[in-house]
Chains A and B, each alone.
Chain A
Amino acid sequence: MHLEDLADKAAEFRAEEAAVEQEIRVCVAASCQSSGSVEVLAALRQAHPDGDQSCKVKGVGCMGLCSAGPLVAVADKGGELVDSILYRDVTPDDAPDIMGSVRGAPVERLRCPTEQPFFSRQHRIVLENSGIVDPVSFKGYVVAGGYAALLQAIIELTPAEVLHEVTTSGLRGRGGGGYPTGLKWSTVAKMPSGQKYVICNADEGDPGAFMDRAVLESDPHRVLEGMAIAAYAVGANKGFIYVRAEYPLAVERLRTAIRKAKRGGLLGSKIADTEFSFEIEVRLGAGAFVCGEETALMASIEGLRGQPRPRPPYPAESGLWGCPTLINNVETLANIPPIIREGGDWFASIGTERSKGTKVFALAGKIHNTGLIEVPMGTSLRDIIQVIGGGIPEAKAFKAVQTGGPSGGCIPERHLDIPVDYDSLKTLGTMMGSGGMIVMDETSSMVDVARYFMEFCMTESCGKCVPCRAGTQQMYGLLDRVARSQATRADLSLLEELCEVVQATSLCGLGQTAPNPVLSTLRYFRHEYEERLADASARASASRSHQDE
């Protein structure tokens, strides 16, 4: 298939639906499905008058505001989410009303205003198709301009030119580390030619993070396209998507997408009659958090026990089965098609000096608008939480926001004005991470938060290296004592000592960052630890005086 053929195909697909003027879009991503959107979709299909060609009912991906699901949008064909009429908390009983409103007045009782900052302040690049195209439809993706970037890359550009665009874009790894994507790609590209692999890391495991799930469920073809472009740039012919088995819907949609893309001639051998061939295989994770670490992930794909190994050698040099391997996160790869389409300079014009583009965040916890947002890098935390997120419910006071999952830390009120980018977050003792943001109000105890994340790290430690295996267990024990007001001052200093050792000596990123939740809560909320200690000593002295009597 060539670019013109793809354009012809898109025109042909568009012609099939020429009569459609309006679309009723029902979110069928995991979150809305769990609140009953499948039934809503069925009810709408039933209410749809037979023979009405001008209105189409379709399932789409995530629209972002998960807390208001099931979401249904009535929009002009191909129209943006912000221009649509959005309905929230829809039940199957509302179907006739919504169907009746298509040419009439909107159903006011279900309205969810799209003028609110949650929608209007977003800048959607990764999620540009999310909530608009049907995730199981190959045609829908092609009509939306999909796979044009892939064909453009392999027909019109050399691998070096693709690398140049990606490097110019300033894109950094969205999995958490923030390693420059262009640099990673060119390292793999520079390795001698031979068997090379591309891996998409979709083993999203941070508590409270669901960005990658939404991308895979809403727009799976975009990830395949990104992988294929990456494979062309680095000289690979085989790709793996390592996705956790806890995402059955994402797995199913990925498999459908791979099958359809192959049938469409956009994956497989000799794509677009060039010498470039690329196959993608889905591999399921078996529920280990550590398999999100790249070396453990590769061991798992190889069929071995999923545990990390020392780096170097880095995967770029010796990865899957000892071959040069490029491994990128879902969101990183989802950024690639627009970068090729619009150019690296366009992407670099968004965001901050050192963090380019946008970032998808998953808002969770004590916040009004729970769900998924995509904002330019450099947006302040206050904007994200107070304006886009709608603030804290029940008139409670904000206390902290946790970013970066079990590897990150908590940010207190006084630092809310910092711009969100890789480097600013690092200076605050946390990290960008994959994009989970857990908001906590005044009722949350920071000691409990630290204990929760330490328990997570303890149970998810693979057990290979001593500091992480035995250290996280000891730290959890000490935090548990603090939480139960049984700890002494000596326990607290031992906890800090262990934090330092585990951070400095652990083998992989999981262990090295496991102390972060403790360190950051100690940094900003030390008094909460001290108060629990004070309890302990007060009670101890009380019982002593009781004995004296």
Chain B
Amino acid sequence: MPLPAIQPNVRVVTLKIDDQDLSAREDETIIEVCRENRIPIPSLCHLDGLSIWGGCRLCVVEMEGQSRLFAACSTRVAEGMRVRTNSERLQRYRRTIIELLFAERNHICSVCVSNGHCELQSLAQGCGVDHVSVPYRQAPYPVDSSHEMFRLDHNRCVLCTRCVRICEEIEGAHTWDIMGRGSDCRVITDLALPWGESETCTSCGKCVQVCPTGALVKQGTSAGEMVKDQQFLPILARRRHAR
């Protein structure tokens, strides 16, 4: 979401996250409050400045008095809420979800251009994923190198749709979208044209900067060389907001 406009009648609530007493504006989501207060919550699809997606499910948290889990990125805070972000159960679920992602497509870090600068990789390290217990699918996916500046490697894609959202919401081009269902889902440019032939792409490169893995990268990068600008979207959002 774009930085929220300051509304005069938004109230402030107090809540407890992992036994810390915190205050928050009532229009904030749990993940925003956590990030503000340096409480780590893993997430792949959420990105400050883009709309809520709720797809990776890594940010699920427990709430006192509720048996079901809540995604921190899509749940607003409320007065008196008591949230737990890091129980043993949540850690186990998160490890499994990351394992599912690793097994779904090809994520061999050693040969990836994003090695060392990859959000999936650092999440796996942070969550203690030291092996993958589900069988690898080993399905081959194509690589689209048709764009003169950028490259799309479906094998590394986690379908977080950050590229889809930033292209529509920030750049306003809506070059990216998703086709297919279930495991056949793929990000596409225009109506599944090669990226280089896209008529709507402005070659702004925003999608590349926000892609959490090595799926969208600059041409000419080799293993470990693709470093993305983490601050780019917050800075952009802040400047736009100021105007």
Contacts and interface: CB of A to CB of B under 8 A. Distances in A.
B133 A494 contact: yes
A92 B152 CA distance: 62
B170 interface: no
A498 B134 contact: yes
A541 interface: no
A177 interface: no
Given A288-B181, A474-B135, A466 B74 contact: no
Contacts of A102: none
A508 B198 CA distance: 33
A504 interface: yes
B118 interface: no
A506 interface: yes
B234 interface: no
B185 interface: yes
A497 interface: yes
Contacts of A310: 52, 54, 71, 74-75
Contacts of B68: 504
B159 A469 contact: yes
A305 B75 CA distance: 23
Contact of B55 (A459, A474, A501, A507): A507
Q: Which 9 A-B pairs rank lowest in CB-CB distance, beginning with the nearest?
A: A463-B185, A310-B74, A470-B100, A310-B54, A461-B182, A505-B57, A470-B104, A501-B96, A474-B134
Interface of B: 52-58, 60, 68-69, 71, 74-76, 92-93, 96-97, 100-101, 103-104, 133-135, 137, 158-159, 177-178, 180-185
A466 B181 contact: no
Given A310-B71, A464-B55, A505 B182 contact: no
A430 B31 CA distance: 34
A465 B54 contact: yes
Contacts of A501: 92-93, 96-97
Contacts of B159: 463-464, 466, 469
Contacts of A507: 54-55, 57, 71
Contact of A463 (B52, B76, B92, B184): B184
Interface in A456-506: 458-467, 469-474, 477, 494, 497-498, 501, 504-506
Nearest to A305: B178
A309 B75 CA distance: 12
Contacts of A463: 159, 178, 180-185
B182 A459 contact: yes
Contacts of A460: 181-182
A455 to B, nearest CB: 11
A1 B186 CA distance: 54
Nearest to A470: B100
A371 to B, nearest CB: 32
B183 A470 contact: yes
15 contacts: A310-B52, A461-B181, A463-B180, A463-B181, A464-B53, A466-B158, A469-B182, A469-B183, A470-B100, A473-B104, A474-B134, A497-B96, A501-B97, A504-B69, A505-B69
Interface string A219-254: 000000000000000000000000000000000000
Contact of B57 (A312, A461, A465, A477): A465
Q: Which of B104, B133, B177, B182 has the most CB of A within 10 A?
A: B182
Contacts of B56: 465-466
Given A310-B71, A463-B159, A469-B159, A498 B185 contact: no
A260 to B, nearest CB: 37
Contact of A466 (B101, B137, B178, B184): B101
Nearest to A491: B135
A470 B101 contact: yes
Given A501-B93, A505-B93, 12 more contacts: A459-B182, A461-B182, A463-B182, A464-B53, A464-B55, A466-B57, A466-B158, A467-B57, A469-B183, A470-B183, A474-B100, A505-B60
A464 B55 CA distance: 5
Contacts of A312: 76
A472 B134 contact: no
Contacts of B54: 309-310, 465, 507
Of B52, B68, B100, most A-chain CB atoms within 10 Å? B100
B68 to A, nearest CB: 8
A507 B57 CA distance: 7
A460 B183 CA distance: 10
Nearest to A504: B69
Interface string A513-546: 0000000000000000000000000000000000
Nearest to A490: B133
Interface in A308-366: 309-310, 312
Contacts of B101: 466, 470
B183 A473 contact: yes
Contacts of B96: 497-498, 501
Contacts of A470: 100-101, 103-104, 183
Nearest to A500: B93
Contacts of A461: 181-183
Contacts of B182: 458-463, 469, 472-473
Contacts of B134: 474, 494, 498
A309 B93 CA distance: 21
A466 B100 contact: yes
A464 B159 CA distance: 8
Contacts of B53: 464
Contacts of B75: 310
B38 to A, nearest CB: 24
B201 to A, nearest CB: 20
Contacts of A471: 100
Most buried by B among A461, A473, A498, A506: A473
Nearest to A306: B181
A494 B103 CA distance: 14
Given A310-B71, A463-B184, A497-B96, A506 B57 contact: yes
Given A310-B74, A474-B135, A504-B69, A467 B100 contact: yes
B181 A459 contact: yes
Contacts of B93: 501, 504-505
B104 to A, nearest CB: 5
A309 B56 CA distance: 12
A299 to B, nearest CB: 13
Contacts of B71: 310, 507
Interface centre among B58, B93, B104, B181 (most CB of A within 10 A): B181
Nearest to B184: A463
A312 B54 CA distance: 12
Given A460-B182, A473-B183, A466 B69 contact: no
A320 to B, nearest CB: 18
Given A462-B181, A501-B96, A477 B135 contact: yes
Interface string A434-473: 0000000000000000000000001111111111011111
Given A310-B74, A459-B181, A463-B178, A505 B97 contact: yes
Contacts of A469: 104, 159, 182-183, 185
A477 B133 CA distance: 13
Contacts of B181: 288, 459-463
Contacts of A498: 96, 134
